């Protein structure tokens, strides 16, 4: 097994999505394993409650420490990986972090709900990761794209590692444009270089497009790129 992921959630059924498509196939091939844990199964409350009113008042409910911490302890018997909480106060997730986490053998994700989790749960968390500067209804909504982007980088999940090494963000730039048949669609022709069969020119054209798109759409990323002499030359030649 290349990587084991355990997800602690109040809504395990939301992760059925991982039975589909590329991740579903990777599970079948036993390259990845994804296990969900229902936090509610760990509550000691006789009504199976997992949340309570916030001390100090205010809107909403707070996920109580007891069921979450007991669930974390149980998972730790089987998975020694980092405990990652999906929450808006965390480090913003990006491809670099996806790459870093894809090299781990085991990872644990904790999904919050309601107004959030009791602050004392943080003692048991190694890292908080946010999907961006907006508020979601639950950590599950963030956990799905985060886990998906990590797992597709695990060797064997995609057919070829080229599928992701040339993609947006992997090398710090956005991806070049793609075309498929027909060669002309509603009067719009595919760039000639792509049909020339000249692999070196195709490579250079794609690199130039990738750099130019990044410069136009994400100047913040472009500024961080270290352009080689060839990059500077092809930018002038193709753009
Ligand atoms: C309604 S939100 C709670 C928001 C919280 N009251 C706040 O203002 O920061 C419920 C849960 O969704 C998850 N969540 C919300 N926004 C998120 C984001 N941007 N990234 C990751 N998880 C998020 C967290 O697990 C959070 O505990």
Task: Report the percentage of the chain scoring pLDDT > 70.
Answer: 99
Q: Ligand 1: which of 58, 113, 116, 145 to mutate, most ligand atoms within 8 Å of CB?
A: 116
User: pLDDT at position 170, please?
Assistant: 84
- Count the helix, strand and coil residues of the chain and give each as a percent rounded to the nearest 5: 40, 20, 40
- Residue 184 beta carbon below 6 angstroms from any ligand 1 atom: no
Mean pLDDT in residue range 189-216: 96
Phi-psi region of 191 (alpha: psi -120 to 50; beta: other; left: phi over 0): beta
Query: Which DSSP string do the residues of 135-195 spell out, in sequence order?
Result: --S-HHHHHHHHHHHHHTTSTTSSS-THHHHTSTTTTSSPPPP---S-SEETTEEPPGGGG
Instruction: Give the per-residue pLDDT at 26.
Output: 97
Of 83, 86, 137, 143, which is best to mutate to test ligand 1, by the most ligand atoms within 8 angstroms of its C-beta? 86
**Are residues 50 and 116 in contact, defined by beta-carbon separation less than 8 angstroms?**
no
- Residue for token digits 């000691």? 44
For ligand 1, say whether the CB of 88 is within 6 Å of any of its atoms: yes
Nearest CA to ligand 1 atom 6: 115
Could you tell me if the CB of 54 is within 6 A of ligand 1? no
Instruction: Give dist(CA 128, CA 206) in Å, integer.
Output: 36
Give the Cβ contact number of residue 173 at 10 Å. Answer: 24
Give the pLDDT of residue 85. Answer: 98
Rounded alpha-carbon distances, angstroms, from residue 71 to 51, 124, 125, 184: 14, 11, 12, 57
- What pLDDT digit, counting tens, does each position of 70-98 carry? 999 999 999 999 999 999 999 999 999 99
Q: Which ligand 1 atom sits nearest the alpha carbon of residue 138? A: 12
Query: Which sign does the torsion angle of CA 12, 14, 20, 25 carry?
Result: negative
Q: What is the pLDDT of residue 18?
A: 98
Residue of the CA atom closest to atom 13 of ligand 1: 139
Per-residue model confidence as pLDDT tens digits over 103-140: 999 999 999 999 999 999 999 999 999 999 999 999 99
Query: What is the reported pLDDT for 123?
Result: 98
Beta bridge partners of 108: 6, 83
Mean pLDDT (whole number) for 164-176: 88
Q: Read off the tokens for 67.
A: 């069921």
The answer on pLDDT for 1 being more than 60 is: no
- Label residue 160 by pLDDT band (50, 70, 90): confident
In the chain, what percentage of residues exceed pLDDT 90?
Answer: 92
Pocket mutation for ligand 1, best pick of 88, 127, 145 (most atoms within 8 Å of C-beta): 88
The residue with tokens 């410069």 is 215
Question: Is 161's pLDDT higher than 80?
Answer: no
115 lines ligand 1 (CB under 6 A): yes
Would you say the CB of residue 139 lies under 6 angstroms from ligand 1?
yes
User: pLDDT grade, residue 168 (50/70/90)?
Assistant: confident
Q: Are 19 and 27 in contact (CB under 8 A)?
A: yes
Which protein residue has the closest C-alpha to ligand 1 atom 22? 87
User: Average pLDDT of 42-55?
Assistant: 97
| Residue 169 reports pLDDT greater than 90 | no
Residue 155 has pLDDT above 90, yes or no: yes
Range in 99-113, 162-176, 216-230 the model is least confident about: 162-176
For residue 137, how far is its CA from the centre of ligand 1 (angstroms)? 7
Name the band, by pLDDT with cuts 50, 70 and 90, for residue 164.
Answer: confident
């Amino acid at each position: 097994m290349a990587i084991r992921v355990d997800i602690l959630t109040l809504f395990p059924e939301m992760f059925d999505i991982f039975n589909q498509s590329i991740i579903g196939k990777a599970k079948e091939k036993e390259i990845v394993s994804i296990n969900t844990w229902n936090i509610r199964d760990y509550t000691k409350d006789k009504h199976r409650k997992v949340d309570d009113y916030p001390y100090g008042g205010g809107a909403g409910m707070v996920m109580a420490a007891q069921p979450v911490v007991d669930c974390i302890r149980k998972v730790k018997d089987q998975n020694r990986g980092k405990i990652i909480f999906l929450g808006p106060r965390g480090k913003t997730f990006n491809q670099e972090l996806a790459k870093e986490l894809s090299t781990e053998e085991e990872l644990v994700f904790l999904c919050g709900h309601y107004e959030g989790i009791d602050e004392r749960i943080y003692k048991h968390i190694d890292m908080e990761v946010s999907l961006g500067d907006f508020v979601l209804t639950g950590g599950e909504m963030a956990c799905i794209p985060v886990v998906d982007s990590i797992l597709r980088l695990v060797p064997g999940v995609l057919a070829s590692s080229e599928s992701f090494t040339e993609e947006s963000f992997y090398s710090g730039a956005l991806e070049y444009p793609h075309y498929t048949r027909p060669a002309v669609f509603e009067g719009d022709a595919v760039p000639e270089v792509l049909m020339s069969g000249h692999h070196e020119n195709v490579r250079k054209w794609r690199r130039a497009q990738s750099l130019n798109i990044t410069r136009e759409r994400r100047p913040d990323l472009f500024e961080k790129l270290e352009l080689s002499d060839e990059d500077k030359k092809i930018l002038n030649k193709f753009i």
